[in-house]
Amino acid sequence: MINLYTLNQGDLAELIATLDEKPFRAKQLWDWLYDKRVGRFEAMTNLSRATIHKLNEAARLGDLELAAQQVSKDGTEKRLYRLPDSQLIESVLMPYDDDRQTACISSQAGCALGCVFCATGQMGFGRHLSAAEIFEQAMIFARDLAARGERLSNVVFMGMGEPFHNYDASLTAVDMLMSRLGIGARHITISTVGLAPQIRRFADEGLQVKLAVSLHKADDAKRSALMPVNRRWPIAELMDACRYYVERTKRRITFEWAAIAGENDTVAEAQRLGRLLAGLHCHVNVIPLNPTGGYAGRPAHAPDLERFMASLRQYGVKATVRVRRGIDIDAGCGQLKTAVIDADAIR
Ligand code: SAH
Ligand code: SF4
């Protein structure tokens, strides 16, 4: 059985030929998959019953098996999938008031980089996902949305895993999102923990895809304590790569700042961050920490955040405090933890 989502248009034409079907069936099938976005061969109404039977024998739509799902009070949907080798991954769909529908997808099962505050980091590394496995998470949301007359508009690589640690598959998945689901590059964001060489490589790709860098701390000792990867690519090297990205692409770079009470929400820390970023074409997204079981930190409090933001503004650094989504179901990006769901929610 072939997973059709792994096939490009040429591969699909070959499959159709081996099934003894007319060549135009390949185009019909492609349209059903990616334009009309149906999830079953039976729904492909211009195919004969015989064709549908052959397709059911030879092919399937996707490899992700839904293991659990949860819906938050704010409309955020979280899905847990089991892969054929039993690895578990999660993805999240976040509807916004302005009709945007953003999918947050995983690039790896688990993560090798061990950021202490991150639920995925706390689980350790399972394996890299294939491009099709990354793509399929968005495809499923696109399919579900199409069934209710809606469209997936944005994708962020902020689920489980480090997309730049699985660089080629992530970039291939980006290409699939653009060419198959018609999602514009500007509506796709890759978030990285700060792998400097891959940031440079990404800058050289000539893509309009947005880049977010998880910074969270502006001094090396404390950043290394939170994010062990900082020992390998400390802040100066990371910032060099970020400046290279901005110069090369002329694009703004986003920095992610998970605001942790008493840890990185002080005026002194805002000043350090302000000095680090002053003059760079960038934006800081400040997101109060989602507490996780394996880390004692708590989300920053509103009054501290206000002081933090005010002092950052003095350096001319643009920043926004983001609302946490799906808090009640632990669906915050970077906060996905299959291990817990696995025990509690899968029946
Ligand atoms: N590995 C990539 C992308 C996945 S994590 C990266 O680290 O950027 C997506 C975002 O969620 C990152 O900015 C990450 O630092 C953040 N994050 C992880 N755990 C978090 C938590 N408990 N609370 C708030 N943000 C968190
Ligand atoms: Fe991995 Fe990103 Fe989590 Fe760090 S924050 S452990 S890089 S998923």
Q: Residue ranges per domain, the chain?
A: 2-60, 65-345
Q: How confident is the model at residue 325 (pLDDT cuts 50, 70, 90)?
A: confident
pLDDT at 157 over 80: yes
110 CB within 6 A, ligand 1: no
Pocket of ligand 2, candidates 89, 118, 226, 336: which has the most ligand atoms within 8 Å of its Cβ, to mutate?
Answer: 118
Q: How confident is the model at residue 306 (pLDDT cuts 50, 70, 90)?
A: very high
Among candidate residues 59, 201, 64, the one with its CA nearest the CA of residue 129: 64
CATH architecture of 2-60: Orthogonal Bundle (1.10)
121 CB within 6 A, ligand 2: yes
Average pLDDT of the chain, as a whole number: 94
Which residue is it, tokens 């492909």? 44
Catalytic, 162? Answer no
Instruction: Report pLDDT for 332.
Output: 64
Active-site annotation holder among 111, 118, 282, 333:
333
Q: How confident is the model at residue 335 (pLDDT cuts 50, 70, 90)?
A: low
Active-site annotation holder among 21, 77, 90, 256:
90
Which residue is it, tokens 């072939």? 2
Atom 4 of ligand 1: nearest residue by CA position: 158
Query: How much distance in Å is there from the Cα of 183 to the middle of ligand 1?
Result: 23
Catalytic, 333? Answer yes
Q: Which CATH number is 65-345 given?
A: 3.20.20.70
Residue type, 117: F
Pocket of ligand 1, candidates 256, 289, 321: which has the most ligand atoms within 8 Å of its Cβ, to mutate?
Answer: 256
Q: How confident is the model at residue 328 (pLDDT cuts 50, 70, 90)?
A: confident
